[in-house]
A and B are shown apart, each in its own frame.
Chain A
Amino acid sequence: MKLQPKRPAGTAAIVLLWIGLQLLLAGCWSRWELTDIALVTACAVDLAEDDLIEVTVVLEHPGHGAGGGMESGGKPTMVIIDSAKATSIHGAVTKLATHSSKKPYWSHASFVLIGEEMARHGIGPVLDWLDRDREPRRLMWLLVTPGKAKDIFIRTTAEPAFSPADLITHTIRMRDEASLALISNVHQFSKALATPGCDPVAGRLELTPGPDGALRPVVVGAAVFRGDKLSGWLSPYEARGLMWAQNKVKGSAIELPLATLEIDSSRCMVRVVRESGRPCFTIEVKINAHLGELSAAADVSRREVLDQIEQQAAEVVKTEIATALQRCQKEYAADAFCLGNEVHKHLPSLWHSIQGEWHALFSTVKVNIDVTVRVSRFGTIVRALLQTMAPTQ
């Protein structure tokens, strides 16, 4: 026979439970209130003298002072730029915390900026810390800048209403308008790094003077890595060439003599076949576009004019992909197109025989590029505006 569950031993149990619950009311052990933390909104990593690593952060003290962030019209957010040097990233980060009046909190950092020297030296340690520590997120953007990374934070003068970190974050958000800058986050970069037959790519950031002389950070082009070391840069149009192949072009303008096209969508397929013991690739891109601008010389009511525009656009895209590929193959010997991974996925036996010498082989493999452009829409008007003018006497 089973015993009935005992009735709670009356008041004693309830009082004990009540006292016990009071202890929990104080909150949890590892809590940090908003008033005790400073948000790291971005960080820059540079190689300093004596092989030290210098970490520079942009810290925001939300509604600093007594009022707290809840008060509208309270004290404005305070932005602080600080840096520390150590032999490791983690070491520098802990030093930084001792400079700060509030605990730096990394979960809201939106990007990490690497100086060129550091990038050429290898960013493996940076990635390891970012991935291992529990605060930074894998969705942080990874950018490389020619020169010192910390200079970007210090020298930016455009739009002083924003902190340099926020300004760059907003710039990154607008990249899809032109698709001339290839961006990747820590997650995508690490994934490419760990994929056999694939070399990672990061974004490229530089300071550009505006017409008023104010220095503005701009993401443009791309940074090609071989393993975790920077190999070199891609120009804006080369970056777009790589982006066609990686399905990353969201919106962009293709400028032609007869018209300028705006991209609606683009799809890329990479095929690989075995040809006398070597892989042979076909990069197939299919693009849908609409007219963004039309020159007076083009009469789109005639099908052959439209065909001509489509062919010219295909040619432009093909050249961009070919130039980017050429640069990766001949100059950097870095497989940013992840062609090796296509061999591994579809011809595993071939991959096993070539994987040891893939980087050498990559520079000489044959790649066919096949681009189709379809212009299916015209915008809010059809013919060129000048063609609708009344004939002059």
Chain B
Amino acid sequence: MSPEENVSPYQLTLLLITVVGGSAFFMLPGGAAKLAERDAWLTPIIATFPGAVAARIAIALAHRYPGQTFARYSREILGKYAGGALGFLLSLLTLHVSSVVLREVGEFLVSQIMPETPIAAFVSCVAFAAGYAAWHGLEVIARVNELVLPAGVFSGLLFLVLLLPQVDFGVFLPFLEEGLLRAIYGATLPTAFRVQLGVLCVLAPQVSQQASLLKAAGAANLFLGAILTLTVVVVVGVLGTAAAANASFATFKSSELIRYGEFFERLDAIIMVLWILLSALKTSILYYCSSVLAAHSLGLSNFRPLVWPVAVLSTTLSLLQFKDFLSLLKFMERIAFVETATMFVVLPALLLLVESVLGKRGKPH
């Protein structure tokens, strides 16, 4: 714990929005259209519930073990070895999520913007920026995020508003044709993004007012629900279900349809800039979480020596783990949900359960 590192509840809200929205804004509409078809717009609304659960569990644990991260209290609850292993596992999975985020932005840039540039160039640039920010600690990330995210949200909203007149609400009819189950199945994808609110289990101790944790996380969750629903409505409503589901990057694909008059067009650059910025920020938060978790599960007091190893591993992993774009898509649609739900809902919930059964309590700091 570094008492001088302090993040305000407002900054925490912004960090959580970046962690989820930083990739969901770009990757969600196409995947949701594929999984839930015409009811894709419902899926971000449904995903609000698992998001709330993930945040609630992390906050419950944070309140019982004030000032401690997941890796520290898991050692207290499960003992040095089992608890340490659990914390280390979460660190590795967080590292893996960051490698997927890198690969998404890399694939996007190579396939849509600059096909002659090797993907390693993009991935390592973003990873370097993220690692640099993470090395300076959460407070620095929070401040950069506080500068960048509002501008990002503004341009993202501008993009959506410009497309709004072209939205054909007819594409969402008939409503729930294949039943609510199909929509819930489709909601696995937005859930995979939304439960990442669970990074609270590392960030919580750094927040200045512990009492406002719930409010800050709730605000982030509701805001994400609203903006992601709007994004899906606009992107799918403009492209149509079939084209959105078939597009490699649906949000980006819809940007080529913006045209006002004969001159106001080609706004794809907005999406490109946003994607690079937000994924760098998201990756830096994940690097921070991964190295803090690793440090605390190994009983180290300082996470900094671990930041660059995490960054290098995540860069390498992002380049090696997917054979091609299709395997990345398949991972996002099928496995990402299982991975993130395990990380941020199942494991913390089990920990909370064991804690209540054994009645262990951390020493108040």
Residues of A within 8 A of B (CB): 1-3, 5, 28-30, 107, 131, 134, 137-139, 187, 190-191, 194-195, 341, 344-346, 348
Q: Is the CB of B117 within 8 A of A191?
A: no
Q: Is the CB of A134 within 8 A of B111?
A: yes
Q: Is the CB of B116 within 8 A of A29?
A: yes
Known: A2-B5, A139-B256, A194-B243. 14 other contacts (CB 8 A): A2-B301, A2-B302, A5-B136, A5-B137, A30-B114, A131-B243, A134-B112, A138-B253, A138-B256, A139-B257, A191-B242, A191-B243, A195-B240, A345-B173
Complex formed: what's the CA distance from A75 to B173 in Å?
A: 55
Residue in contact with A344 in the complex, picked from B137, B174, B257, B259, CB distance below 8 Å? B174
* Closest residue on chain A to residue B117 by CB atoms: A29
Nearest-neighbour CB distance to chain B for A343, whole angstroms, equals 10
Q: Is the CB of A345 within 8 A of B239?
A: no
Complex formed: what's the CA distance from A3 to B115 in Å?
A: 42
Q: Which chain B residues lie closer than 8 Å to A187 at the CB level?
A: 239, 243, 257
* Closest residue on chain A to residue B177 by CB atoms: A348
Complex formed: what's the CA distance from A138 to B163 in Å?
A: 14
Q: Is the CB of B115 within 8 A of A30?
A: yes
Instruction: Tell whether A3 pairs with B302 under 8 Å between CB atoms, given A30-B115, A134-B112, A138-B256.
Output: yes
Encoded as 1 (CB less than 8 Å from any A CB) or 0, chain B from 124 to 137 comes to 00000000000111
Q: Is the CB of B239 within 8 A of A29?
A: no
Interface membership of B364, Cβ < 8 A: no
State the majority secondary structure of interface residues on B. Answer: loop
Q: Is the CB of A139 within 8 A of B259?
A: yes
Q: Is the CB of A345 within 8 A of B174?
A: yes
Interface membership of B64, Cβ < 8 A: no
* Closest residue on chain A to residue B136 by CB atoms: A5
Complex formed: what's the CA distance from A328 to B312 in Å?
A: 62
Q: Is the CB of A29 within 8 A of B301?
A: no
* Closest residue on chain B to residue A343 by CB atoms: B174
Interface membership of B304, Cβ < 8 A: yes
* Closest residue on chain B to residue A190 by CB atoms: B243
Q: Is the CB of A28 within 8 A of B257?
A: no
Nearest-neighbour CB distance to chain B for A360, whole angstroms, equals 23
Residues of B within 8 A of A (CB): 2, 4-5, 111-117, 121, 135-137, 170-171, 173-174, 177, 239-243, 253, 256-257, 259, 265-266, 301-302, 304
Instruction: Tell whether A3 pairs with B240 under 8 Å between CB atoms, given A29-B121, A139-B256, A345-B174.
Output: no
Q: Which chain A residues lie closer than 8 Å to B135 at the CB level?
A: 5
Instruction: Tell whether A137 pairs with B239 under 8 Å between CB atoms, given A3-B304, A29-B114, A348-B174.
Output: no
Complex formed: what's the CA distance from A15 to B353 in Å?
A: 54
Instruction: Tell whether A2 pairs with B177 under 8 Å between CB atoms, given A30-B116, A191-B240.
Output: no
Q: Jot down 19 A-B pairs with beta carbons below 8 A, ordered by A.
A: A2-B301, A28-B114, A28-B117, A29-B114, A29-B117, A30-B114, A30-B117, A107-B266, A134-B111, A139-B257, A190-B243, A191-B242, A191-B243, A194-B240, A195-B171, A344-B174, A346-B173, A348-B174, A348-B177
Quick one: which of B4, B117, B177 has the most chain A CB within 10 A? Answer: B177
Complex formed: what's the CA distance from A138 to B265 in Å?
A: 12
* Closest residue on chain B to residue A344 by CB atoms: B174
Nearest-neighbour CB distance to chain B for A111, whole angstroms, equals 14
Complex formed: what's the CA distance from A134 to B117 in Å?
A: 15
Q: Which chain A residues lie closer than 8 Å to B257 at the CB level?
A: 138-139, 187
Complex formed: what's the CA distance from A137 to B252 in Å?
A: 12
Shortest 8 CB-CB contacts between residues of A and residues of B: A194-B242, A345-B173, A30-B114, A348-B174, A29-B117, A191-B240, A30-B116, A2-B2
Q: Which chain B residues lie closer than 8 Å to A137 at the CB level?
A: 256
* Closest residue on chain A to residue B253 by CB atoms: A138
* Closest residue on chain A to residue B259 by CB atoms: A139
Q: Which chain A residues lie closer than 8 Å to B112 at the CB level?
A: 134
Complex formed: what's the CA distance from A131 to B243 in Å?
A: 10
* Closest residue on chain B to residue A351 by CB atoms: B174
Quick one: which of A1, A107, A191 has the most chain B CB within 10 A? Answer: A191
Complex formed: what's the CA distance from A314 to B171 in Å?
A: 30
